[in-house]
Each structure stands twice: as structure tokens, then as C-alpha cells.
Amino acid sequence: MQKTILLLKTLLLSTSQRNIFRYTTDQTKKKRIIAGLIGAFLLYGMIMAYGVLMCIGYGALGLTGSIPVMTALILSSLAFLFTLFKTNGYLFHFREYDMLMALPFSPGTVAVCKFFYMYLKSLPWYFSISIAMLIGYGYYAKPAVAVYLIWIILSLILPLIPMVIASFLGFLIAKISSGFRKTNLIQTILMMGLVIFGFSLRYIITSVMKNEQVEEIINLTAQTTDQAAEWYPPVRWFADAVGKPAVLPGLLLIGTSLILTLIVFCFVGRSYRQINSALMSHAANKNYRLKRQSQHSPAQAIAFKEYRRLVGSSAYMTNAAVGEVLTVLFGILTLLFGFERIVLTVTMDAPIDVTILQPAIPFLIYFFIGMVSTTACSFSLEGKNYWILQSLPVTKEEICQGKMLFNLYLTIPFMTFGILCMCISARVALINTLLYVILGTALCAFSTAWGAVCGIRFMRLDWENEIEVIKQGTAITLYLFPNMFACMILTVLMVILGMRIDHRMLTGIMTLIIAFFAWLSYRRALVLAKKL
């Protein structure tokens, strides 16, 4: 345990933004760190406001007793999903692997250290949710003072079990894929399958509830939370320790979390070195033949390089291409079940005229496609090898254009496929379908250019783990949240305006507006690229 704490402390100090801010003389780095902190606190504030509002809703419905259960469910779900996406980058195939394994630590110690490092990096998200829900619960339940302390301590322990489960699943996926020659491809396919199952689980649960004819929201919520507490014991332990309050459930939660963590990572440690070696090795084709090479423009060459970077990293592909995979699945489901059936399922059979949603089709697909733009993290992913890219006989603007070109290659075909599937299912007129495809292309261009602006403006090359820029980077955060909020607002706006304005005219106007902002972002990206 002392070795784990020592190694963990060293990892935290070596990646501490506080240390960089304290000792660096580069004012640009200091400004980026300050901007990142401001953005993070804004996000935490939004999350806390959402949590408090959720508690107000529960309190107004007389479900104050269900707030601890809901808190435990939210924390456990987020911990599982966050860890599932980060496991490959934090536990396996990380850049400092050779350095860590050369130190006098066992593989199990390194694995446990990386796990707790991942836990501490995600802790601010969990803590902000916990404090927000505690505020709401305290307002309505008015518990004893000791309950506040118990709540805070147990909410810090609660994410451990789902994180261990997700890490073990990631370990199994890595172990299975390490037995194949195309390890990254197999690992990506397995991870994508798990992610898709997670997205569909919500509708499976909803269907089960409907079959049980639970119609009123109070009974549905109460039954759902009670069932969750029965299916997943840590939720019940947390709720009992806080609601009664009781000491034994809290001790069970703490003890089970620590024991399960030690057992799993003792097992993981046995194969840890073997799996990492397999994932970091590359196989060569025995029947390779040198063929005639074709000449391409610098932008196309950079785009092909970015493609190789994407398929060479399962963490990058899982996060950057998940929207495209969901688009294909959503399009196929729309063709199979019909646009109207999909809308009714999502809206819980609300009485709605589905034709008013037709102008919003490009934005519905963009909600998947625009989830992540490769340009928001591809500049930072160059890392300490960025000097190689700069030494090439290409201009910095061409590097930027090449990375944007790759994202267009990746997003436009999937955007077109999704729009065509929805338009065919919704029986949209041919001219409207064409206009929707043009609008979708403009949205892809905006996503690409805006991602490049964020990626260049907040480029970080001193990372030790690619997950830090793929999922946790300031550029990704500043790209994602304004983009997603704008997408939701414009979706609603298109539906409202579509009831008063001709759909073709509305689509044309929106296409011009999006194209204008895409052009502005493109020009800004090229200006920023000159300063790289």
C-alpha cells in the first residue's frame, strides 16, 4: 500500500496543472490553465444546479426518501460509464508504460495505482453531483448533522465498485483482443458493442415498465428506485446508511468496495504485463508487397495520417467514431420501424404530429455526428512528436486543412446516410431531402472548423495519457457543451418555425447561417494555425 501511495503521489505531481502554473514562465500556458479551470467550474456549477433542481422535483412530488437512492444510481452510472471509456487509456496501452514497469514495483501495484489515479481525476464530477443532491436532500429531509458527514464520506466510496466492474470488463476486453493480430480493431469492436448496449438499455427498461402498466410518474419513479436498490446492493447500503441512519450499511459499502478492488486487481496484476505487451506490439504482414505509390496533396496526406492515428488507437476510435456508429444504427432502426414509431418511442407516446419534426432531421442526426470532432483533439494528440509534423515540408495551414479534411471524410458520409434513412422513412419530398443533406453538410463543416478552433486554441502537448485530451481536455469541453446546447436549441427552433414557415425556405435560411459560421470558424482556425 505504501508503494501504491508513493507511485500515485508521483503521478499526480508529474501531471499537476497547479505545478505547471506555479513553475512555468510561459504566459500562454498559464492563461490556458486559468481558462480550463473557469470552464471546469462553470460545468460543475451547471451540474450542481441540475442536481438541486432534480431534488426540488422529487421533494415537490413527495419523494424525498428516494433522493439518496437516485444519488447513488447517478454516481454509480457515471462512474461505470466514465471508467468504461477511460480504461483502455489509463490501465492499458498508456505512454509511460515502459518507464513505470522499469521501476521496482509489481505489475499489480502499477495497475492499482493507475486505477486510483483514474478515480481521483474523475472525483470532482462525482463530488459536485453528491454535494448538489445533498443540498436538496438537506432542504427537504432536514436530517441530523452526522448524516451530512456520512453522505460525503460514502459518496466518495460509492463510485469504487462500478469503477472496478468497468475496469474488469475493460480488462476482459483487452485480454480477449490481445489474442488477435488486429488487437486495436477487436478491442474497439468489443468496446463499441458494450457502449451500444448501454445506450439501448434505457429503452429496454422503459419497455419493461410499460408492460407492467406503471402509468403514474410517482409510482413509476418509486418502483424504479426501489428495484434498483434491490438489484444493486451498494445503492441500498448508501440509502440505508443515510436515510435511517445506520452504521452497518455504511461499513458494508466501504468494506466491500475495498475488498473487491484488491481482489480484482490481484487477478488483473497476473496478466497485466502480458496484455500491455500484446496491445503495444505490432504485427507485420508476411505477404507484404511494395506497390506503386500515388502522389497526393499535402492536405490529403495529413488526412491519411490522421486516419492511421484513429484506427491505431482504440480509445481514440471509441470516442471519436461512436457518433457515426450510432448514426448507422439509428438510420437502420428508422428504416425498419418507421420514423413515426421511433418518435413515439422517444417521446413516450406523446400525441405529436411527426411531420413538424421533418425540418429538424439534420439536427437530429448532427446530435450524433457532432458529439465529438476529431479536430478538437487531433492537434493535442500529436503530443511530444509534434516537432516531426512541423519539420515536414508543409505549411501549418496545410496541416490544419489536412486534419479538417479527415473529419469531413469521416462525418459527411455518415451524416448523409442518416438523413437519407430518416427522410425515406418519413416520406420527405425529394427536394426537401436534398436540402436537408446540404444543411447536414454545412453542419459537418461547422463542426470541423469549430473543433479546429478549439483544438488549436487549447492545444496541449505535454499529456501523459491520450485520454486526457480525448475526453478530458479543455478543447473537447469547450467544443462539446456549446455545440450540443446550440444543437438542442436549434432543433426546437426548427420545429417551432417549421409550423409557420415553408420547410424549404427555412432549411435554406438555416443552411446559409450555418455555412457563414462555418466559414468564420475556418478562417479563425487558419489564423490560429499560423501561430503554432
Using only C-alpha atoms, the chain has a radius of gyration, in whole angstroms, of 25
CA distances from 318 to 20, 188, 313, 374, 380 (A): 30, 6, 8, 12, 17
**Dihedral through CA 458, CA 463, CA 465, CA 466, nearest 10?**
30
DSSP code at position 473: -
User: 359 and 256 in one domain?
Assistant: no
Mean pLDDT along residues 196-212: 45
Is residue 293 situated within a structural domain?
Answer: no
pLDDT band for position 218 (50/70/90)?
very low
Question: How far is Cα of residue 91 from the mean position of the Cα atoms in its chain?
Answer: 17
Task: Give the domain-ending residue among 247, 280, 313.
Answer: 280
Is residue 488 situated within a structural domain?
Answer: yes
| pLDDT at residue 162, as a whole number | 87
Sign of CA dihedral 152, 156, 157, 163: positive
What are the tens digits of pLDDT across the range 434-445? 999 999 999 999
Tell me: pLDDT of 217 over 50: no
Q: Indicate the range of 306-320, 346-360, 453-467, 501-515 predicted with least confidence.
A: 346-360
Host domain of residue 43? 2-280
Q: The whole model's pTM is what?
A: 0.64
User: 181 and 311 in one domain?
Assistant: no
- Block residue for cell numbers 500484446: 278
User: 117 and 187 in one domain?
Assistant: yes
258: which residues sit within 8 A by CB, 6+ positions away?
Answer: 160
User: 352 and 262 in one domain?
Assistant: no
Task: Give the domain-ending residue among 225, 250, 280.
Answer: 280
The count of residues in the chain is 532
What grid cell was written down for 471?
475526453
User: 339 and 275 in one domain?
Assistant: no
Is residue 289 situated within a structural domain?
Answer: no
- How far is the C-alpha of 93 from the C-alpha of 279, rounded, in Å? 6
Is residue 285 situated within a structural domain?
Answer: no
- The phi-psi region of residue 338 (left if phi > 0; otherwise alpha if psi is between -120 and 50; otherwise beta) is left
Is residue 142 situated within a structural domain?
Answer: yes
Q: Which helix (H) or strand (E) holds 271?
A: helix 247-280
User: 152 and 252 in one domain?
Assistant: yes
User: 139 and 33 in one domain?
Assistant: yes
Is residue 291 situated within a structural domain?
Answer: no
192: which residues sit within 8 A by CB, 6+ positions away?
Answer: 318, 322, 325
What are the tens digits of pLDDT across the range 152-175? 888 888 888 888 888 887 777 666
Instruction: From 483, 111, 161, select the one nearest 323 (Cα to Cα).
Output: 483
What grid cell was written down for 158?
460509492
Is residue 290 situated within a structural domain?
Answer: no
Tell me: pLDDT of 432 over 60: yes
Is residue 408 situated within a structural domain?
Answer: yes
Total domains, the chain: 2
